[in-house]
Structure 1
Amino acid sequence: MTGNHTAEGPKHKRDLTRRKVVIAGAGAAAAVGVGGTLASGAFADETTGTASAGASASSGEVCYKLTSETTEGPYYIDADKLRKDVTEDEEGIPLTLRLKVIDSETCKPIRNAAVDIWHCNALGVYSGYESMGSGGGGGGGTPPSGEPTGEPPSGEPSGEPGGGGGVHEEPTDDERYLRGTWRTDRDGVVEFRTVFPGWYQGRCVHIHTKVHVSGTWTDAGYEGGTTCHTGQLFFDEASVLATAEVAPYSTNTTTRTTLDEDTIYPDNGTEGGLLKLKYKKNAIAKGVVATLTMGVDPEATNTGT
């Protein structure tokens, strides 16, 4: 079921793009307003485990820079499921993903935005595109070890998997695991429960994301507005190497591309989408918490296509 209401036009001119979000299961609409579970205005400092205030104009802290825009990739599916837990029955290391969305100019949190995430499973396969396999047909390489085995891709990205660019592909099946949309709360925070992504040929480990603003939330979901940010979230090498020791990641034989070798990662730290991670050393299988404050321009249109 989808809503039929359209977004109220903003005072300035915008190129409105229609999108709909399908409710997943009874009662999901009522849960929309819950928002993230994180304490107001604070994220965990993932290097020390202590709390640090989120960037805001009123706090007098330096504002976060605009988070890098990246390609959407060919495997985005609109009208996705409205939910915080996107795991379904996928195996993998539990991952809690907490994102705070702020206006990069004013530093104020952006509330009621619709945030999409989507990523591959532990073996590099995207839901909706299972026939594509992992890395455009699989690898035949070896799982990661202390020394990265992937060779840097050459030339321009040619598609994803295998590059990360390319034009949109139509879904080949009805699976929708590891995909979802949720609403930012009054502090601009949104939280998802998922699993640590795997890897596939030609790309480092990553999560795709979009931020939609100026749309309308209805009992049926979210529609209208603009896509002000399209980006990707990245993981440091130490965490990826740690996951490679844990099943089912340890069974992934696709040759891995490292963060430094990736043709999409902007190589500019958190500004480029590099997540801050917290997990128990030598026990990453118990779970990971990943956080990032994303600075976006709510007046812009960035579809990533």
Structure 2
Amino acid sequence: MKFSIFFSLLNIAFVVLAHPEPEPELSATEVVKRELEARNREWKTRNCQAEIRAFTANRMAKRETKLEGRQAPSGTEFTAAAHVTGIPDSATCIVAPEVTEGPYYINNELVRQNLTETQGGTVIVLDIGVININTCQPISDAFVELWAGITTNYSFCYLIIHGLLANATGIYGGYSGATNAVKKETFGRGGYPTDSAGIVEMTTIYPGYYFGRTAHIHTMIHLNYTKNTDGTIKSSSGSMVHSGQFFFDETWNDKVYANSPYTLNKQPRTRNAQDGFIKEAQGNGYNSFASLGYLSGSSLSTGLLGYITVGVDPKADYAIGNQNFYGGTGL
């Protein structure tokens, strides 16, 4: 049985002015069911903590070895490798079914690892591991999708006037349930499968903030998926086993947002403590914060590297509620 984790958009003005991603309205029965699921997943994941920490440590160590093999310039240190000993709990993201996909998801996305295109901002490389919480083993060929808001690409006044919704990466031609909801812009969105070791590396731009939301990156994970004839993923195929959001420590947000083009964002900044979705993502023992470090040296100019491991139940199968579809370049 598929459990819907989406919500109805009740009023566009409310969505834009009150909160860009309203919380879903759930029946009492579904609330109880999800709470039980959440506790069960949290319990299972706790049993995998040793394996998950070793999984993350091995990834960090392998990356450090690769960098040493490249003979980095003298004085250059891979800062993130400092986390190899004493990995923080924030390196593990436990599946949280009640964290919504939001209204900005697009079905049938591009299959690619680099999502930056020509966007400005701080580059962030995400090393994402996917692990089976039933066996504590990595999952290969798990398709990991990401989408996020890029720096200053939000214009709520425009959206209200033209009856459109703010997208985390631009503007939709419609919203969930609308006909011919086609997306032209593709920056900041896409997905790629994990390798034989259960790992996928994806490059994007450090997300911006907007009214009601702190820095965050949406993620969705599919198993047993297929592709369309044009090479995009067929979102309705296989099973969707996770929809959630990654967050970042406020210290890193402060560092990134002190630089251009983030300083051009004129919207009031929403901090982690003010974002209600973090409370969802952190409930029941969940931890959705990526462990960050500089990609090299100690400057944002070289980019950031983030590690996070997502624990999923391969037996789960959630429904995608959004009806926005990628329409191809130039539509």
> Which band: TM-score by shorter chain?
0.5 to 0.7
**CA distance in structure 1 between the partners assigned to 2:274 and 2:317 by the alignment:** 29
Any idea what SS the aligned residue of 2:286 has?
helix
**CA distance in structure 1 between the partners assigned to 2:262 and 2:139 by the alignment:** 35
1:66, CA displacement in angstroms?
Answer: 3.5
Greater alpha carbon shift after TM alignment, 238-247 vs 267-276: 267-276
So what's the TM-score if we normalise by structure 1?
Answer: 0.65
Change (3 A) 1:71 1:176: same
Correspondence list, 1:50-129, <5 A = 50-51=83-84, 66-69=94-97, 70-123=99-152, 125=153
2:307 to 267, 291, 304: 291
**CA distance in structure 2 between the partners assigned to 1:262 and 1:215 by the alignment:** 32
Greater alpha carbon shift after TM alignment, 273-282 vs 246-255: 273-282
| Unaligned segments of structure 2, at least 5 residues | 5-54, 62-78, 159-164, 169-174, 322-331
Over 6 Å off, 4+ runs: 159-162
Whether the aligned pair in 2 keeps the contact of 1:230 and 1:303 (CA below 8 Å) is no
Whether the aligned pair in 2 keeps the contact of 1:237 and 1:258 (CA below 8 Å) is yes
| Unaligned segments of structure 1, at least 5 residues | 1-13, 18-38, 55-63, 126-132, 139-158
Counterpart in the other structure of 1:49: 82
**CA distance in structure 2 between the partners assigned to 1:42 and 1:271 by the alignment:** 22
1:97, CA displacement in angstroms?
Answer: 0.9
Question: Does residue 1:301 correspond to 2:317, yes or no?
Answer: yes
1:220-276: CA deviations, max 9, x gaps?
354310111000000110011111111000111111111111111136399331111
Counterpart in the other structure of 1:137: 157
Counterpart in the other structure of 2:199: 189
Change (3 A) 1:50 1:200: closer
Counterpart in the other structure of 2:242: 229
Change (3 A) 1:66 1:95: closer
Identity score, percent: 29
Change (3 A) 1:214 1:160: same
Aligned residue type for 1:283: S
1:276 to 267, 280, 291: 291
Aligned residue type for 1:66: I
**CA distance in structure 1 between the partners assigned to 2:319 and 2:273 by the alignment:** 25
Change (3 A) 1:40 1:277: closer
1:269-291: CA deviations, max 9, x gaps?
99331111012787223211011
Counterpart in the other structure of 2:262: 249
**CA distance in structure 2 between the partners assigned to 1:290 and 1:75 by the alignment:** 23
1:87-114: CA deviations, max 9, x gaps?
1100011110111001112111111111
1:140-199: CA deviations, max 9, x gaps?
xxxxxxxxxxxxxxxxxxx9779xxxx737556511111011011111111111111111
Whether the aligned pair in 2 keeps the contact of 1:16 and 1:225 (CA below 8 Å) is no
Q: Work out the number of aligned pairs and report it.
A: 229
**CA distance in structure 2 between the partners assigned to 1:74 and 1:215 by the alignment:** 22
Change (3 A) 1:51 1:94: same
**CA distance in structure 1 between the partners assigned to 2:195 and 2:103 by the alignment:** 29
Counterpart in the other structure of 2:176: 168
**CA distance in structure 1 between the partners assigned to 2:297 and 2:145 by the alignment:** 30
Question: Does residue 1:211 correspond to 2:221, yes or no?
Answer: yes
Change (3 A) 1:82 1:190: same
TM-align CA RMSD:
3.4
Change (3 A) 1:40 1:71: closer
Q: Which has the higher helix share?
A: 2
